[in-house]
Amino acid sequence: MIKIRKNAGIYIRVSTEDQVRQGYSLPEQLEKLQELCKYRDYNIFKVYEDAGISAKNTNRPEFQKMIEDVKNKNINVVVSYKLDRLTRSVKDLENLIVLLEKHGCGLECAVDDINTTTANGRFFARMTTVLSQLEIERVSEKTKFGLIGAIKDGHIPGNTPLGYKWKNKKLVIDPLTKDIVIRIFDLYLKGYSYKKIANIFNEEKLLDKNKWYDSAILRIIENPIYKGDYLGGKTTGKPILYENVAPSIVTKEKWEDCQVQARKNTRNYTRRNDYIFQQKIICPNCNTVMACKAPGGSKKKYIYYQCKDCKEYYKEDVLKELLIDILVNIIEYDITVRKFFAPLLTHKLENTDELLLEEKRKLNDGKYEFEYTRKLGSKTLKMVPILNKDKLIKNITHYGIIEIPIKPINSVILM
């Protein structure tokens, strides 16, 4: 009996943590797996190497290439040093086992002694991954606990905020820049906008900068670090406020007053006019969407739309009148079609068979023959006419046989 050698795909992976903690270097993994393939008499098809990538998910370049080779039947056994080199997730392992089984591919791990070609091997693989995932979750809990302790001890993660500097890995107040932060809060409470404060700083070239932006002022006003608190977990969608973990530059009362002022400003900037043609009017000269305009003052306001490029403008009242005229014309057209043309079209569609048979009787005595076949519903009509082909098609078209189906009146689209 001829024994067919299996094509093996060797998968090796290491993250920075693994390499430091347990010494799973890539060359060592590769050497072990090459020896295993030689012992099993496997033909090594390809080595897939993911360096410095975690196994928390399967979004790894070489891992995905290996999966494609499995689907394309290029390899029929995946060889790995340990199961956690492939995945640490129970869900991902289950998906992997199902995929390998579907495409007739096995899985072998050198250290864990796993072979998914048997029921016992698959069971052991699942149990091993459950324990591996438990380890990850426990390490994650310890990391979070350590991070919380570090934050409470004054070790704030992230970039250095304006007004602070680092000393012994902790945030301390920078005497050279703290007055700028205090001034920003004071100006904002006096009614200055973010943009106006940024313009003042640009004119003064504060800190030798001429690119102060209103967005930077906004971030300073909203950052609770200036009242001594740190807001963590913003990227996870579950923010946590750690109070009194850094020295404050402004009082909590002043910071809260600025947040109240910001909410008032937001309400004051609420749009007071309804622009019914907003983002719907295009300049006839340059095809630019025209902007909405409404002059201020106590007098009656005339809303208009203006092109920012060629300065063309139209009053909204004029556009309303034009729109009403167009709608009236559309309604009148629809009423006319329904009243006069719809009955005629309905009569033609209902009596098409009779008209065609009458035409056939008229053309029954022909001098020369050619056959015209037309599918009409479930019937096929064949005629041998005396007239020339062009006149025949003209007559048949006259009685309603056309290449484009007639649409219902209510589905006509007017441009």
Question: According to the 3-state scheme, what is the secondary structure of the chain?
Answer: CCCCCCEEEEEEEECHHHHHHHCCCHHHHHHHHHHHHHHHCCEEEEEEEEECCCCCCCCCHHHHHHHHHHHCCCCCEEEECCHHHHCCCHHHHHHHHHHHHHCCCEEEECCCCEECCCHHHHHHHHHHHHHHHHHHHHHHHHHHHHHHHHHHCCCCCCCCCCCEEEECCEEEECCCCHHHHHHHHHHHHCCCCHHHHHHHHHHHCHHHCCCCCHHHHHHHHHCHHHHCCEEECCCCCCCEEECCCCCCCCCHHHHHHHHHHHHHHHHHCCCCCCCCCCCCCECCCCCCECEEECCCCCCCCCCEEECCCCCCEEEHHHHHHHHHHHHHHHHHHHHHHHHHHHHHHHHHHHCHHHHHHHHHHHCCCCCCCCCEEEEECCEEEEECCCCCHHHHHHHHHHCCCCCCCCCCHHHCCCC
Tell me the catalytic residues.
15
Measured CA to CA, the distance from residue 66 to residue 72 in angstroms comes to: 10
